[in-house]
Amino acid sequence: MFDSYLKESVLGRAIGNKRITVKFYNPRDFIKAPKNNYKPVDDKPYGGGPGMVMKAEPILKAIEKVIKSISKIKNQKLKIILFSTSGKKFDTAYAKTSAKKYTDIILISGRYEGIDARVQKILKTEEISVGDYVLTGGELPAMVLIDSISRQIPGVLGKYESLEEERVSSSEVYTRPEVLRYKNKNYKVPKILLSGNHKKIDEWKQRK
């Protein structure tokens, strides 16, 4: 699910230039079972209800392996994030702080009805939400964090992209032609954007 996204654009370059490294650990690989046997990572929830809940043990074992693999990194600062609809809302400020403060971030992506709550209690993970909606799994939120946090790491963005990242931006943008004619009506670019007065342009963008 991640392959195509991580091979493109900013993230593709960042990984290729070794500015960031992304590794995957499948909880299913940490379940002991006879060869060629199905390895379930979920089970029915206690207390009843629809759906299935991801088991704690394979996730905890996967995290143990991650921590062991990075334990020799000098000056390591680790953060573990678990995606939850009730978690703290993710934003750019959080991304900037994470990039500056941590060398390694573990993202736990759930599926089904969620993850056994004991994972959070044992690991003291920080619960993060990317929005007030329900998704099929934690893969998309993980991509959001990888993208947003990576952009804050020095050298990941090119010079032009870095300038774009820090600019005063607006959701209302225009490009050529200056006058767009559509169904016998003219739609013009706001005059302020054609003025060349960058101070007033920035003020206009902030208002928008």
The reply, when asked if residue 41 is annotated as ligand binding, is: no
Helix axes 92-101, 139-150, angle to 10 degrees: 70
**What is d(CA 171, CA 75) in angstroms, rounded to the nearest whole number?**
40
Query: What is the DSSP-derived secondary structure letter of residue 184?
Result: T
Nearest Cα neighbor of 81 from 114, 127, 47, 50 is 127
The reply, when asked if residue 130 is annotated as ligand binding, is: yes
Query: What is the DSSP-derived secondary structure letter of residue 33?
Result: -
Which residues neighbour 141 within 8 Å (Cβ) at sequence distance 6 or greater?
A: 83, 90, 109, 128, 129, 130, 135
Q: How many helices (H) and strands (E) does the chain have?
A: 8, 7
The reply, when asked if residue 135 is annotated as ligand binding, is: yes
The reply, when asked if residue 110 is annotated as ligand binding, is: yes
The reply, when asked if residue 131 is annotated as ligand binding, is: yes
Binding residues: 110, 130-135
Binding residues for S-adenosyl-L-methionine: 110, 130-135
